[in-house]
Structure 1
């Protein structure tokens, strides 16, 4: 019985490690725009493992000890909000982490999550995962203003997607979403970037309707044809980034954007 218990404990540990390394992180909000003085919900999610990392589905919850989660206000103030997260389900492999942020400062806010951990599931792999999402706080919802476009500034992450189009005003049907893929702060070419609408299954090895390759400047562009929450995700495997502890480095970066059916009434 002791042997079986030890084996099951080891199996759980390996499963958790495999999950964290192979799955993606993403952050999402309940709304992209909120009135000053109200609050917004932030979900920290783990999943997107099926269909070649293109399913946009939950698959357990990450160990919070493994990640950092920060809220960056329009004035650049960074606040660690990891300790504020609570679970949305009692079962270990259900739901996600959630917290609320009081919307006191007008402007575009960013929430960023990072993971950097060596995992072992057949091979020792260094998994680096980053996730970002944005929301706008405005005194008026009818004439909201997004003056400070901090979304187009890299955060200095080892691997990150950087939005060049506004995640609030430009995120509308028929409007291009443009982004850049950066590895160690430099543009990375020929990376597959997927724009996954929630509830939509991408087809084949490469779905030209929802996926594109970064150009020589690391840039990609996608024109959404329907309003929805979209998961923008990029992966990169660096075989040359290894050490005595791990055989290679696996990167992923995500941004969630809520695409409106028509352009929001927002001044730029």
Structure 2
């Protein structure tokens, strides 16, 4: 790791010491995985989505994360209320614009959420490319583009929105429009386990509760990369990898995180 990047090991120590409450609005597929990932990483999840209370919970949480994977009108209302509650309380929040380009309604919902100023936007390469207004090759929630192709759109999106933008894939990329870093690690089985990307958004929220947005996103990417690499040592197939990955999120320490990022 270069001297210009914040050390993720220190962020990991602070996150686990604080055990922040992370308000997670995520999709039906990812709920259990995301909650377990946040717990294993060292924080405390609250899976609350109803508009009648989501704004209140966002106001007392350390961070809010919003994932639009299984979007519905009622859930969108809860997301908007939560984002507004977070903004009113000064709570940082993370947006995961899952497959935002597949329908006009989903695009409109995403634009509404982006206008509420997330601190961090995390997505795969196709999602970030499309959100920046360029042509992407994504199919549903799966990326059809390389992370390298999303680096310039990510920088532009960060500059336009003021959010830190994290692009995940074989080699992750994160930028605030000025600074940028690439993160190495992970394992080839990670895309074959459903909801791991969604759970990363929740883990990013755990870091955002203590750290500045760029530092939080970088630390979360390093944590995930280290856990994926560790899990891959003892798992040959997706099912065993899924269990090993949750264990690895808990087992990794600061020494596993440092050295994974380089300035870009």
TM-score by length of 2: 0.31
- Higher relative strand content: 1
Q: Using CA pairs below 8 Å that are at least 6 residues apart, which structure has the higher relative contact order? A: 2
